[in-house]
């Protein structure tokens, strides 16, 4: 029995998939482990459902399918993903480049059976593959705990700082550690974030101003003053001209 | 059933009850008179004097002609285009002739032009104006072809078509009757799309189309879509261009309901206010929905078509207030 989770915002579409799963039950025995109406709901319910395969609609409100799939890769028992879409030109092109599996709506029983078998054998998609297929930056960063995923809205993030193996994600409330590379984050969020130092990206919206510090023995340098936290972040001499220009545009 | 013609908008006479048309006639005739005066006079002062002299004769005639056209507009519009043009020229020439005689009889006007000259000038001006209105219509007709294409593309928009078909497929086993009705609704929508976009339709038919469309969306979206219909004061016999309201409702669902996770309230209100018909469509304003492209294009096209059918007497406005996005349309109340 394959445990299947269905995520689609349209009730009839979920119903249709349930029917089809029953129709192919002799060929591919399965059980519906859970359902969700949008990305956030799926993220909440999926980990405890023990699903092995996720049938995932790409276009959903709240959080779209592509972003959801990226967050799920952090789970210990991440499910295999079969994307289902009525037609999303960009996504399909990206999938073909990245060899992700997808079904077109309306879905045919035979194709669903084939996709389930293939997905069961292939396992969870790799995070890099999904990242390459994604068309837009994520709205959240995620921290995988053992059986749960904690989301941090990107718009709440004040800065991202690389420390050894991890990146610290700082919001005004607290900080999280994620396992991603600062270079990749900089590329993905080049709009709202600016690099101020070799190891640090700051949210432009959070910058309140700059302070000059040091002098005397120590060489003088600039620091970023942020909204929401007392901590000052040093601007490297190399980044200072870029940062100053960006802020002048603000 | 009108035939499906692929080319331009059918030739029709201008609507002489439309204020914008009347204003254009007044302006054009007076501009011609001024040009003639400038051409015939040695200096500007003399030209102005000359113009006032012409105007004294011309304005009453122009008003009489416009009043006659206003009164007979309905009858002229029922004739075939060329017949209408001939009747119109005949009418204005006959009126000019009669007017000329009356002026000759009651006033001492030594510089009054001869009768044949008055008549020839009238014909020239009338034909010139008819040509102008003809070209004016032609200039707008690409908007119609484009509207059909856009509407067709919007409906064949895979997102709508395949999701609708998928929803109907899901229904077939559980509720075959409802599935049948949904397929019929889809068929009706497509039939309207493929019909002639250049004829007026009755508001009642456009409303029926709105309801069919809403049924299909309701099937897909369930309780996420809640539409309030305020149609009690809608004049069902009013005439309007086809596919004006449906794309607006579709936009409301596509931009205001689908991208949201909760229930989206959409309001459709159509009412008559004196000699105007007013329609408003309102939906939640979602930041995400706004990023979906295509809204602007549909609105621009509807605006163009309203201008084509009603000239300056139609209005389309959009506004965002209190978290709601709203489109208002106002057109003159016309009946068959």
CATH number at residue A224: 2.40.50.1020
In a mutagenesis test of the B interface, which of A23, A67, A86 is the best target, namely the one with the most B β-carbons within 10 Å?
A86
B183 touches A: beta carbon within 8 Å: no
Pick the closest to residue B278 from B315, B241, B229, B253 (CA basis).
B315
Judged by CB atoms closer than 8 Å, whether chains meet at B174 and A16 is answered as no
- Please report the DSSP string for B148-164 in residue order: HHHHHHHHS-HHHHHHH
Q: Which domains, and CATH codes, for chain B? A: 19-138 (no CATH), 156-332 (3.30.565.10)
Cis link prior to B142 (omega < 30° from 0)?
Answer: no
* CB within 8 Å of chain B, chain A residues 40-79: 40, 59, 61-62
**Greater pLDDT, A89 or A176:** A176
A122 and A161 co-located in one domain: no
A164 and A60 co-located in one domain: no
Q: Rg of the Cα trace of chain A?
A: 22
A129 and A144 co-located in one domain: no
Q: How many CB atoms lie within 10 A of CB A40?
A: 17
Classify A101 as helix, strand or coil: coil
d(CA B224, nearest CA chain A) in Å:
9
Which residues on chain B are in Cβ contact (under 8 Å) with A12? 166-168, 170-171, 219-220
Note whether ipTM > 0.95 here.
no
Strands (E), chain B: 201-202, 225-230, 239-240, 264-273, 276-284, 315-321, 324-332
A166 and A92 co-located in one domain: no
The token pair that represents B298 in the structure block: 């549909």
d(CA B150, nearest CA chain A) in Å:
18
* CB within 8 Å of chain A, chain B residues 198-227: 219-222, 224
Residue A109, domain extent: 2-133
A17 and A90 co-located in one domain: yes
- Average pLDDT estimate for A128-141: 88
A62 and A155 co-located in one domain: no
A114 and A154 co-located in one domain: no
A51 and A106 co-located in one domain: yes
A167 and A50 co-located in one domain: no
A116 and A195 co-located in one domain: no
- Between A9, A12, A61, which is nearest B170 by CB? A12
Pick the closest to residue A84 from A29, A21, A144 (CA basis).
A21
Q: Which residues pair with B271 in a beta bridge?
A: B278
Q: How many CB atoms lie within 10 A of CB B295?
A: 19
A145 and A229 co-located in one domain: yes
- Give CA–CA dist B77/B21, Å, rounded: 14
Q: How many CB atoms lie within 10 A of CB B258?
A: 24
What's the pTM value of the predicted model, to 2 decimals? 0.74
A137 touches B: beta carbon within 8 Å: no
B162 touches A: beta carbon within 8 Å: yes
Judged by CB atoms closer than 8 Å, whether chains meet at B170 and A61 is answered as no
A149 and A34 co-located in one domain: no
pLDDT in tens, chain B (336 residues): 343 333 344 677 888 888 888 888 899 989 988 888 888 888 888 888 888 888 888 888 899 989 998 888 888 888 888 888 888 889 988 998 898 888 888 876 666 678 888 888 888 988 988 898 888 877 766 666 666 666 655 555 677 888 899 999 999 999 999 999 999 999 988 888 777 666 788 999 999 999 999 999 999 999 999 999 999 999 999 999 888 898 899 889 988 998 888 899 999 999 999 999 999 999 999 876 555 556 677 788 788 888 877 878 899 999 998 999 999 999 999 887
Match 């029983």 to its residue by tokens: A109
Burial of B148: CB neighbours in 10 Å, binned 0-12, 13-18, 19+: buried
Chain center to CA of B61: 30
Is residue A218 pLDDT above 80, yes or no? no
Q: What is the DSSP letter of A105?
A: S
pLDDT of residue A135: 77
Q: What is the DSSP letter of B317?
A: E
- Give CA–CA dist A195/A189, Å, rounded: 10
In chain B, count H helices and then E strands.
10, 7
d(CA B290, nearest CA chain A) in Å:
13
Of A106, A133, A160, the last residue of a domain is A133
A177 touches B: beta carbon within 8 Å: no
- Between A37, A59, A86, which is nearest B166 by CB? A86
What's chain B's length in residues?
Answer: 336
Q: How confident is the model at residue A35 (pLDDT cuts 50, 70, 90)?
A: very high
Torsion of CA B266, B210, B189, A11, to 10 degrees: 30
Number of domains in chain A: 2
pLDDT of residue B7: 39
3-state helix, strand, coil in chain A (%, to 5): 35, 35, 30
Closest-approach residue (CA) in chain A for B174: A15
Of A90, A110, A133, the last residue of a domain is A133
Of A114, A133, A152, the last residue of a domain is A133
pLDDT of residue A249: 66
Domain of A39, CATH number, reads 3.40.50.2300
């Amino acid at each position: 029995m394959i445990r299947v989770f269905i995520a689609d915002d349209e009730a009839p579409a979920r119903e249709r998939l349930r029917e089809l799963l029953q129709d192919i039950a002799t060929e591919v025995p399965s059980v519906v482990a859970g359902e969700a109406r949008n990305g956030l709901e799926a993220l909440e319910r999926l980990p405890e459902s023990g699903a092995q395969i996720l049938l995932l609609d790409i276009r959903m409100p709240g959080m779209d399918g592509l972003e959801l799939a990226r967050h799920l890769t952090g789970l210990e028992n991440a499910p295999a993903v079969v994307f289902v879409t009525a037609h999303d030109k960009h996504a399909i092109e990206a999938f073909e480049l990245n060899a992700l599996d997808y079904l077109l709506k309306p879905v045919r029983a035979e194709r669903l059976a084939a996709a389930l078998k293939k997905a069961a054998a292939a396992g969870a998609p790799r995070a890099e593959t999904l990242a390459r297929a994604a068309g837009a930056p994520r709205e959240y960063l995620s921290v995988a705990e053992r059986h749960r995923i904690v989301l941090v809205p990107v718009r709440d993030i004040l800065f991202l700082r690389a420390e050894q193996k991890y990146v610290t994600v700082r919001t005004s409330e607290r900080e999280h550690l994620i396992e991603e590379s600062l270079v990749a984050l900089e590329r993905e969020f080049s709009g709202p974030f600016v690099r101020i130092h070799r190891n640090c990206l700051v949210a432009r919206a959070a910058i309140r101003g700059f302070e000059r510090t040091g002098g005397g023995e120590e060489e003088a340098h600039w620091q970023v003053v942020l909204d929401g936290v007392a901590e000052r972040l040093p601007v490297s001499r190399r980044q200072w001209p870029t940062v100053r220009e960006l802020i002048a545009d603000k | 059933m009108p035939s499906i013609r692929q080319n331009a908008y059918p030739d029709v006479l201008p609507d002489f009850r439309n204020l914008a048309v009347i204003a254009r006639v007044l302006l054009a005739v007076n501009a011609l008179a001024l040009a003639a005066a400038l051409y015939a006079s040695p200096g500007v002062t003399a030209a102005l004097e000359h113009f006032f002299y012409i105007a004294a004769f011309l304005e009453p005639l122009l008003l009489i002609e416009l009043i006659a056209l206003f009164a007979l507009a309905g009858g002229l519009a029922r004739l075939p285009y060329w017949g209408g043009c001939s009747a119109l020229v005949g009418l204005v020439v006959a009126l000019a002739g009669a007017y000329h005689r009356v002026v000759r009889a009651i006033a001492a006007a030594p510089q009054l032009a001869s009768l044949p000259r008055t008549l020839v000038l009238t014909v020239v001006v009338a034909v010139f104006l008819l040509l102008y209105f003809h070209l004016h219509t032609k200039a707008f007709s690409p908007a119609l072809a484009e509207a059909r294409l856009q509407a067709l593309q919007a409906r064949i928009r895979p997102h709508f078509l395949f999701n609708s078909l998928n929803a109907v497929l899901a229904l077939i086993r559980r509720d075959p009757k409802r599935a049948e009705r949904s397929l019929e609704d889809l068929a009706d929508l497509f039939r309207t799309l493929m019909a002639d976009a250049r004829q007026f339709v009755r508001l009642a038919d456009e409303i029926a189309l709105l309801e069919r469309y809403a049924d299909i969306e309701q099937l897909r979206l369930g309780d996420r879509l809640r539409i309030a219909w305020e149609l009690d004061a809608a004049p069902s016999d009013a005439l309007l261009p086809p596919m004006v309201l449906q794309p607006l409702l579709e936009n409301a669902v596509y931009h205001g309901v689908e991208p949201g996770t909760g229930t989206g309230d959409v309001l459709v209100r159509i009412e008559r206010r004196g000699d105007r018909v007013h329609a408003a469509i309102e939906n939640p304003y979602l930041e995400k929905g706004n990023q979906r492209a295509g809204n602007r294009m549909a609105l621009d096209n509807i605006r163009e078509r309203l201008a084509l059918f009603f000239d300056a007497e139609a209005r389309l406005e959009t506004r965002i207030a209190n978290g709601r996005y709203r489109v208002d349309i106002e057109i003159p109340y016309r009946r068959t």
